[in-house]
Chains A and B, each alone.
Chain A
Amino acid sequence: MNKSLSLPIFAVCLCLFFTACIQDTNFDQAEDIALTPVVELDLIYFNLRADQFFDTINSSPILTVRDTTEIKFLDDSSLQESLKRAEFYFKFTNSIPRTFQVDFQFLSETNDTTYVTGTSVAEGTLAAPIITEFIENVEGDDILQITQANKVVVSVTIPSSDENLEGTLNLKSKTTYFLEY
């Protein structure tokens, strides 16, 4: 071998390096990549005592009590895009001998109602509290409504009450968010 051969040999080697290729792959599949996490998250909880349904000063029943909380994460723009389904689970444990109507009113930042749901809760006793479970499944067009909300108003209505009423109404709740990125 001599000097004149060096260059051709080197050139061949160089060509070999650059003949590398990528085969049997399809990068268009990147379009199909979807993260689909299912996230379980606590929502609200409360313990309402029976005496909260009676005004001892004026000696009159309070038939409806209300409270409101912001849930700012719900109208977050990235959640709006990625939420496919939301399943709300409410578990009431009632030891008050009354039925209840509990309503959840979702409001936008400008206080427009975007979504409502509610359930009746069975009456229980101090000795034997009764559990009422309620599941609200939100999907399709309703997702658009619920993700406009950034607060929820919880109204608890009792048909009648008196100062001797005893027991508590307990709520535990969570939401399962089915996401897709």
Chain B
Amino acid sequence: MRNFLTIILSLLGFFAISQNKQILYGFDDVPQSLMLNPGMKVTQKKHYGIPFLSQIHFNGGSSGVSVYDIFKDGNDNINDRITKKIFEMKNTDFFTATQQLEIINFGWRAKNEIYFSGGIYQEFDFITYFPRDLAILAWEGNRDYLNYEFDLGEISTTGDFMTVYHFGVNKQITDKLTVGARIKLYSSMFSYRSVDNTGTFVTTLGDENAENIYEHTVRNADVTVETSGYASLRELDGSAQVTSEILGRAFFGGNLGVGVDLGFTYDINEAFTFSASAQDVGAIFHSKDVESYRAHGDYTLNGINLVFPPLNQGESTFPYYNNLEDEIEREIPIDTLHKSYTQFRPVKFNAALSFGFGRFNSSGACDCLNMGGGTLHKQNVGLQFYSIFRPKGPQMAGTFFYHRRLTEYLSAKATYTVDSYSFSNVGLGVSADIGKFNVYIAADNLIKYSNLAKAKSVSLQLGFNIIIDEE
């Protein structure tokens, strides 16, 4: 238990959060920005991602606690800090980790001016809300919480490991409007979720007529864990077999799903541009290798009632304990079900309003007085909005950004983001072209880089591409 806690606490802050890629969104120097808005303006003629290196993305976070909160050097006791945090945090606080690895990514502009793009990436996505009541129960026990109803419904967690195959089209359909769509096929390798749970557990002091000192009551319990891709792994021997089985599912061997990304970019006038996109509008249909566990019912435990039956020599008394176990299993049965289920993907929504100024030309000199000209702006400032649908509702973030093309070969984007984690998240992305070779890196929470332990979330994307520009 202690090791488990240590691992969970250590993970906080080392991965980044909620899939927000605020730096990459609209960062048109990087081909992967097309993955965030299939309807963005594409500036290149062709791009090829370097296989396995075109995008490496980590994102992790915890809304209520940082590594520093727990592990800071100090004279106070670590257990006191944990106790304090458990009581400070709310049941809507959450921990997330997301990781993506692009296996291949490519795109080209066809003769009909449609920019086609496609590829394969692998994704791991995990979120768990903080089950505050259960944490209190585990941490403190029930002695000081008589009559307090511990909420079993606070258990809310999902985890997915999948491969995504995608193909998208993008076209500028008028002078002002560019639209795009991307179809996605999901191959789920492993998935679990436990959401929409209910129930309470309470210990009350019995009155005069009560059978025993206390009554331990579970009321309206209905707790379900759905898994897919798990049951068959149990029978495997060793991690090597498990790994090879999971990887085998990467190529359409798992549970399949479909989804779509949609997006557009609209030039309101020569300076203002509005863009928006929705990603992963779709679902995975879990039908193979599904196994769900459901515990439901009501039960009051009073202890063991001895009846002192008159016994003859050699006769044994009632199997009180086994009877009690049977009774609990009867009242709160744990059913194992093999029922297919549909899991909607967490839909992500992005929007941005940007104001561009300074015409960008290949010489790199700022023609700052030319506010129009129809080509790329040298500088852009604007606002972005991001939201992702999670089990307990959407999580949102707002970003202020500044994007500057420094030279033909180098551009940068700085962001300031307000989200569930903090009000002080500053990020920076840089994209450099060395010949046809493009390299980019984007990271947020830079203010916390002097001490990452204080960061509640970290996000990092980096990758390498080959970009062939328009002639």
Contacts and interface: CB of A to CB of B under 8 A. Distances in A.
What bracket does the count of chain A residues touching chain B fall in? 35 or more
Interface in A23-68: 23-27, 29-30, 32-46, 48, 52, 65-68
Contacts of A154: 306
Contacts of A91: 213
A41 B428 CA distance: 55
A25 B302 contact: no
B82 A1 contact: no
Contacts of A89: 213
Contacts of B68: 24-25
B141 A44 contact: no
A40 B141 contact: yes
B142 A174 contact: no
Contact of B140 (A2, A38, A156): A38
Contact of B317 (A13, A22, A68, A72): A68
A162 B1 CA distance: 56
Nearest to B407: A1
A34 B79 contact: yes
Given A21-B450, A40-B142, A65-B308, A45 B79 contact: no
B306 A39 contact: no
A103 B212 CA distance: 19
A48 B308 contact: yes
Interface stretch (B69-77, B97-105, B181-189, B337-345): B69-77
Interface in B184-221: 203, 206, 210-214, 216
Interface in B347-400: 364
A67 B78 contact: no
B148 interface: no
Contacts of A69: 304, 306, 317, 320-321
Contacts of B210: 172
Given A5-B407, A27-B71, A35-B139, A40 B77 contact: no
Contact of B6 (A26, A30, A38, A52): A30
A69 B317 CA distance: 8
A37 B139 contact: yes
B314 to A, nearest CB: 14
Interface string A154-181: 1010000000000000001110110101
Interface in B74-96: 77-79, 82
Nearest to A73: B321
A24 B73 contact: yes
Nearest to A65: B308
Nearest to A180: B2
Given A40-B203, A45-B305, A173-B303, A10 B453 contact: no
Nearest to A37: B141
Given A23-B450, A43-B304, A172 B406 contact: no
B434 A174 contact: no
A79 B364 CA distance: 71
Question: Would you list the 10 A-B pairs with minimal beta carbon distance, nearest first?
Answer: A37-B141, A42-B303, A70-B321, A10-B432, A38-B141, A69-B320, A38-B143, A20-B449, A6-B409, A174-B213
Given A30-B10, A45-B305, 20 more contacts: A21-B449, A22-B453, A25-B73, A30-B2, A30-B6, A33-B82, A34-B2, A37-B137, A42-B212, A42-B301, A45-B211, A45-B212, A46-B306, A67-B317, A69-B304, A69-B306, A70-B321, A71-B321, A172-B210, A179-B141
25 contacts: A1-B406, A10-B430, A16-B446, A17-B443, A20-B450, A25-B67, A25-B73, A26-B73, A33-B82, A34-B79, A35-B138, A37-B138, A41-B216, A46-B306, A46-B308, A52-B308, A67-B308, A71-B321, A89-B213, A172-B206, A172-B210, A172-B212, A173-B213, A173-B303, A174-B213
